[in-house]
Amino acid sequence: MDDTIAPVVRAIDVNVPIEKAFRVFTQEMGSWWPFQSHSIFLERAEAVVIEARAGGRVIERSKDGHEASWGEVLVYEPPERFVLAWKPNSTPLPPTTVEVRFTATGSGTHVELIHTGWEVLGDEAEEARRSYSEGWIPTLESYAAVVDAM
């Protein structure tokens, strides 16, 4: 029997070149990330930092200088893709995997997010998958709105 839980796959098209789409997603995440609903520090959140290398950290910073881990960079291949061990919380559960792929199109860039590895969450897997399945939609819409306005 296969106990694999289907990945969450979300995609959006943006009207900027692939290099800019990748840079804004990875290096300017704080300009578009919905901190009010998707962060550890909530109203105290100031930035998200992705250290641009395999083995780099993904951290959230608060306005008062605190940091919280969101994960680790597993693969960093600008401007085509990056992969994260994703764990933006303090639970003892292991991380899931988020891969984001960027593909140049005639008029901009296709951005595809694939979130996998739900099985490591055990009894929490189905609820986490459902929550992220819904949550990635407005998150990517926020990204697209900001990058397209730049």
User: Tokens in use for 138?
Assistant: 């407005």
> Are 39 and 45 a contacting pair, CB within 8 Å?
yes
User: Tokens in use for 133?
Assistant: 């399945």
Question: Which whole number is the average pLDDT over 65-86?
Answer: 97
CA atoms within 13 A on the CB side of 14: 28
Question: Which whole number is the average pLDDT over 131-138?
Answer: 96
Domain residue spans in the chain?
A: 8-149
Question: Which whole number is the average pLDDT over 84-111?
Answer: 95
Report the distance separating Cα 40 and Cα 89, nearest Å: 7
What are the pLDDT digits (tens) for 14-46? Answer: 999 999 999 999 999 999 999 998 999 999 999
Statement: residue 100 has pLDDT above 70? yes
> For the chain, percent helix, then strand, then coil, each to nearest 5?
30, 35, 35
What local confidence, expressed as pLDDT, does residue 1 receive?
A: 46
CATH topology of domain 8-149: Alpha-D-Glucose-1,6-Bisphosphate; Chain A, domain 4 (3.30.530)
